[in-house]
Chain A
Amino acid sequence: MNNASLLDVKNLRVLYEVRGKRAPAVDGVTLSLEAGDALGLAGESGCGKSTLALACLGLLPHNATVEGSIRFQDMEVIGAKPGRLRALRWAGISMVFQGAMSAFNPVKRVGDQVVEAILLHEDVSKREARTRMRELFEHVGIAPRRSGDYPHEFSGGMRQRVMIAMALACNPPLVIADEPTTALDVMIQAQILNLLAQLREERNIALLVITHDLSVLAQVADRVAVMYAGRIVEEGSAAELLTGPRHPYSKSLVEAFPVVGDSLSRGVPAGLPGDPPDPAARPPGCAFHPRCPAAFEPCDHIDPVLQTYGSRRAACHLVAGEEA
């Protein structure tokens, strides 16, 4: 029993009901996050990363059924009453949304939208909330004077900064960042990631960063979990996993990025042909075997289990064979 964990996800399954079929988007995920931890969640589109994040906030659409358990600070999120869920959102777990352009209401001033977050959860006067909002703006590097502006008057990077300010508004112990740097150019990406890392240090916030861009995780995460077809296929420290991935899928993800500055080994980044499987029609055996460059005999009929190897976990027959 690890009661100390901030977030404890056990055997989480999320099934979407699509045209009478139940398709598992998240299929038995177990992970935990301590206070102040930074965990990166990587994987292709459609592998269940965002569904996992929404499940933590109890924000799944109506056609989703959830099994398993998500405990946040001794509160069971799955099946919690709407009132308790609303109290949990933002005060307990807040979220930096992908594409900050559309996460703001275009007809409201950005400052007011941050104030809204504070007033929803804390019994403070509007004036106090405004003062806090200005401090937050300053904190993320935006002149408080700009708080009266509308979202369209901000650049993409500034909006993402405001989004982060908003995520910090109620001092939550956990911030989920869902593709925090998508659609930003590389310079701004680096700034935003530095800001996240710096705020995490200052406020001891736990971060769950969801991305398909492994270079993002190299900058902000301590640990990385790679997801494929709704399951975690490999998990380990960021340094280990990004330099020496063991699961063939993690390998392909890492190889899909060019190595800058290393002109000899660089070459063309290797792509991985094919698409992730349809959640409603999961291949037998290992879900990755049809695309796996290293698939061998047991892969197409025996489903590998996630096993612990020292500080890492992996679900692959190949890794199991190497370890044995």
Chain B
Amino acid sequence: MSDQVTPEATRSGRAVRRARRVQTLRTSAGLFFRNKMGVAGLAILVVFVLMALFANVLAPEARLSVTNAPGAPLEPPSARFWLGTDELGRSVLDLVIQGSQISLLVGFFATGISMLIGAFIGIAAGYFGGWGDVILMRFTDWFLVIPFLPLAIVLAAILGQSLFIIALVIGITTWPGTARVVRAQVLTLKERPYVERARALGAGHRQIIGRHILPNVFPLIFANTILVVAVAILAETTLSFLGLGDPFSVSWGSILESAFSEGAISLGAWWYLVPPGLCIVLVVLGFTMCGYAFDEILDPRLRKR
């Protein structure tokens, strides 16, 4: 073969491929970091995720004891309690930090469930078509038109109050949007010539879906995921605020709920209401900004030149 050793030829295929993968990742990352909105969103999220991860270090659970609270009821912000105290004398800052853990956890878990159902139904309906598609889509429409809150309240009331149930309830009420978007994409994908080629290769349905359809809808599912997380966190807050959350754990929604029921508004205890509310707004904003930034990366038509 060739006697001259070029640097290209001496590198193994695997090394070349790895280098290329790193390069692709770097390009996408570059695009993301050039997007100011995305960077801001990501910064917000990093702060909150770190807060949730180190919640037990920043605000040890012992300090949230109801019987042995460190401060007096409804103390305004001070050097000791930066964000004041609640009606039981616990630091609101500690509550908010602990709450971030539950809010994010439920948000992610619910999104996972929502994505699984949505992607599964969307792909099945789009790929197989026919009567199955009609039935699955009417089922999806049915979930889509049912107002979210009443359904979630009923489900939470029937199934009981625990974090897992709350996540499940949010998951099974937020999937229809994903299913519709995924189905629409699969409908165009399955008509692509390479899918016909795969069929001519003798590939079965599992092979075609797994190797040709799924990798092509994955970016869409991923971008959708980020936006659904924001919805899920908001939903968790709503349910907790309505008293349908897990009574044994603190989330931003449940802080708001107790602030409301203790009359924080009429007492002028703004430090009890504003921090959890602000956290929710910031996290939802962070996810939405990241979601839009990803949308732009994945859809070159949205990219500004």
Q: Is B200 in contact with A105, judged by CB distance below 8 angstroms?
A: no
Residues of the A chain whose Cβ atoms lie less than 8 Å from the Cβ of B198: 105, 116
- Please tell me if A120 contacts chain B, counting CB pairs below 8 Å: yes
Task: With both chains docked as a complex, state the minimum distance between the C-beta of B127 and any C-beta of chain A, in angstroms.
Answer: 14
| Nearest Cβ on chain A to B213's Cβ, whole angstroms | 10
Which residue in chain B gives the minimum CB-CB distance to A94?
A: B200
Given A99-B193, A120-B207, A145-B9, residue A107 in contact with residue B215 (CB < 8 A) = yes
- Selecting from B12-20, B55-63, B72-80, B149-157, the interface stretch reads B12-20
Say whether A95 contacts B17, CB under 8 Å.
no
Contacting residues, chain B, for A152 (C-beta < 8 A): none
Report the separation of the CA atoms of residues A104 and B192 in the bound assembly, to the nearest whole angstrom. Answer: 9
- Range, interface on chain A: 20 to 34
Chain B residue numbers with a CB within 8 Å of A102 are 192-194
Q: Is A91 an interface position by the 8 A CB rule? A: yes
> Is B300 an interface position by the 8 A CB rule?
no
CB contact list, A99-134 vs B, under 8 A: 99, 102-109, 116-117, 120-121
Q: How far is the CA of A142 from the CA of B181 in the complex (A)?
A: 39
210-244 of chain B: CB within 8 A of chain A? 211-212, 215-216
A116's contact among B8, B13, B204, B211, by CB below 8 Å, is which?
B211
Note all chain B residues with C-beta closer than 8 A to A16. Answer: none
Within 8 A of B (CB), among A178-216: none
Cβ contact within 8 Å between A148 and B203: no
Q: How many Å lie between the Cα of A117 and that of B211 in the bound state? A: 12
Q: Is the CB of B17 within 8 A of A88?
A: no
CB distance from B149 to the nearest CB of A (A): 39
Chain B residues positioned under 8 Å from A139 (CB to CB):
none
Given A59-B196, A145-B16, does the pair A90, B201 have CB atoms closer than 8 Å? yes
- A148 contacts across to B, CB distance below 8 A: 13, 16-17, 20
Asked whether A57 lies within 8 Å of B193 as measured between CB atoms, the reply is no
B26 interface hit (Cβ, 8 Å):
no
- Among B192, B194, B215, the one with the most A-chain Cβ atoms within 10 Å of its Cβ is B194
Tell me whether B305 is interfacial, beta carbon within 8 Å.
no
State in angstroms the CA–CA spacing of A88 and B207 once bound together.
17
Cα A108 to Cα B193 in complex, Å, equals: 14
Return chain A residues, CB-CB under 8 Å to B192. 102
Q: With A97-B193, A105-B216, A145-B8 in contact, is A120–B200 under 8 Å at CB?
A: no
Instruction: Known A103-B197, A105-B215; judge A86-B20 contact (CB<8 A).
Output: no
* Complex contact A89–B202 (CB within 8 A): yes
> Are A95 and B200 in touch, CB under 8 angstroms?
yes
| A87 at interface, CB cutoff 8 A | yes
Q: Give the CA-CA distance A90 to B204 in the complex, in Å.
A: 13
State in angstroms the CA–CA spacing of A90 and B8 once bound together.
34
What would 23 A/B residue contacts be, using CB atoms closer than 8 Å? A57-B200, A86-B202, A89-B199, A89-B200, A94-B200, A95-B197, A95-B200, A97-B193, A103-B196, A103-B197, A104-B194, A105-B194, A105-B215, A106-B194, A106-B216, A107-B216, A109-B17, A116-B198, A117-B201, A120-B202, A148-B13, A148-B16, A148-B17
Interface residues of B (CB under 8 A from A): 8-9, 13, 16-17, 20, 192-194, 196-204, 207, 211-212, 215-216
Which residues of A approach B to under 8 Å, CB–CB?
57, 59, 85-91, 94-95, 97, 99, 102-109, 116-117, 120-121, 145, 147-148
19 additional contacts (CB under 8 A) given A86-B202, A99-B193, A120-B201: A59-B200, A85-B202, A86-B204, A89-B200, A90-B200, A90-B201, A97-B197, A97-B200, A102-B192, A102-B194, A105-B194, A105-B212, A108-B215, A109-B17, A116-B198, A117-B201, A120-B202, A121-B202, A145-B9
